[in-house]
Amino acid sequence: MRVKICGINDAAAMRAAVEAGADLVGFVFFPPSPRAVTPARAADLVQPGPARVGLFVDPSDEAVAAVLDAVPLDIIQLHGEETPARCAAVRARFGLPVMKALGIAAREDLAQLAEYAPAVDHFLLDAKAPPGAPLPGGNAAPFDWSVLAGASVPRPWLLAGGLTPENVKRAIEIAGAPGVDVSSGVEARRGVKDPALIARFVSAARA
């Protein structure tokens, strides 16, 4: 069970993720997010252990390059409206694995997986952002996990969207998820991680 703690923006959260044994940590390079960090801040927070994921929303090559100049990322997460061609271009340009976030609400939304699969290395299957939402993810909204039951996902994937220490075990059971991603579900308040909740989430996901 792979666990990603996303939206790391302070030392206590980073330390908690490392101590809990998280497999991946996410740094948000999208200024409208309350969890956003600068490249310099992310570089200060990095610790050995979890794979480092940089979350971008429809970034230019220049924006990604500026982050990589400061932060040794392991995975580039694209969380906007990037097309398969754009995902492939980012992967080729920077030589790093790409994780594509896709919004899921119904079974038919899974059709897009086949289109993206040749261009990416991982999927993050998230709840679709509600109409007019200012953020493409991190909206603390779950979706019907049974949509994923028995689905054939052509790349390694993480389940996201409204997960908490209380519901993650059930979500994994229903969706058959091999990994999970959490951000708002381990926050004391919007944009501020709670180390105790991080520890509880990782433990619950692997229970």
* Rounded Cα gap, residues 96 and 91, in angstroms: 6
The answer to whether residue 87 is catalytic is no
Radius of gyration of the chain (CA): 16
Which one from 6, 23, 58, 121 is the annotated catalytic residue? 6
The answer to whether residue 6 is catalytic is yes
> Which stretches does DSSP call E strand in the chain?
2-5, 24-28, 51-56, 75-78, 98-104, 122-127, 157-159, 179-182, 187-189, 192-193
Q: How many CB atoms lie within 10 A of CB 161?
A: 29
Which one from 109, 126, 144, 181 is the annotated catalytic residue? 126
SS3 label, residue 158: strand
Q: Which residue numbers are catalytic?
A: 6, 126
